[in-house]
Structure 1
Amino acid sequence: MPIPWTGEICAWDYNTATGDLSGERVFCHVDRSEGGAADGATVDSEGYLWNALVYAGKLVRYTPEGKVDRIIEMPVKKVTSVMFGGENLDVLYVTSMAQPPLPRFPEDNQAARQPVRHLRPGRDRRSGTALRRLNEPPARRDNNNTRRTDSDPDTRRRASCCRDAAE
């Protein structure tokens, strides 16, 4: 779990029977030299932690031991979170924010409306090793089951989608 503005991501032991947390420890130290701060995080099927560095425009993948494994430069500076989804958990969703928060995204902000990266599977189908851009923004449904696309002006937060390139 990222601890805001400390430069640390902490970990705890989790008791599945009781739900109790114990053994708090520093998992890793975040390089804040470019002004970034640890924000949203998720763990992949190999046990690697993916973290969004807000204000630095990067995703960082850490080994289970807390060492930097990979750094991915994003086309926007304010990435806020990452999450795996899709039927096979092979889609990496990346969210970003505007600054200052705007009621709608400007029409010329192309990066906020487009998927940013495409994961290619490595040894494990659920882990990505090579990345490339996608061409089409994904469509999704809101709470009223209304179809929305990334070009809808009333969508305040953007989710950029990475799809598995395996054929």
Structure 2
Amino acid sequence: MEAVEFQPLGVAVLTASDTRTPDTDKSGDAAAALLREAGHRIEARAIVADDLLALRAQMQAWIDAAQVDVVVSTGGTGLTGRDVCPEAMAPLVTKPIPGFGELFRFLSYQEIGTSTIQSRAEAAICSGTLFFLLPGSTGAVRLGVSQMILPQLDLRHRPCNLTQLLPRIRHEA
């Protein structure tokens, strides 16, 4: 079998929050650190208020940014009226990746039990950019990034991974 080298991707980290600041954004820090340690480039970071149109505008800006291959978002996936990340992303979705949310809730159940039903974690392809929406807790971010996102962003992961699909995804978009 032919050896495959790691391929770093450009990642943007979005924190959806009315209360977090650069000094208190522990979940965004955790996501960025895990991605950077794995070898990916953090191309951008932003904290955006829990506002549907503001979140959508930031998402669209990163879809349009050539250096951003992946967006990892923390927060805004709960059930309250201010949790609007899935709604902000919805009109931008080219193809949903339903298995991400299903697997996230399965893994999360092993840690927090039935409270995982309150999470609307999800993933999608948006015009050739991979999006992962995670809850805002640091534990949820560590779980999602380390156990799910990083393996799929590693060209060496077998039997398959999202990185190897990116050229075909973008060609179709």
Does TM-score exceed 0.5, indicating one fold? no
Q: Which has the higher contact order (CA 8 A, sep 6+)?
A: 2
TM-score, length-scaled by structure 1: 0.28
Q: Which has the higher strand share?
A: 1
Structure with bigger gyration radius: 1
Q: Which has the higher helix share?
A: 2
TM-score, length-scaled by structure 2: 0.28
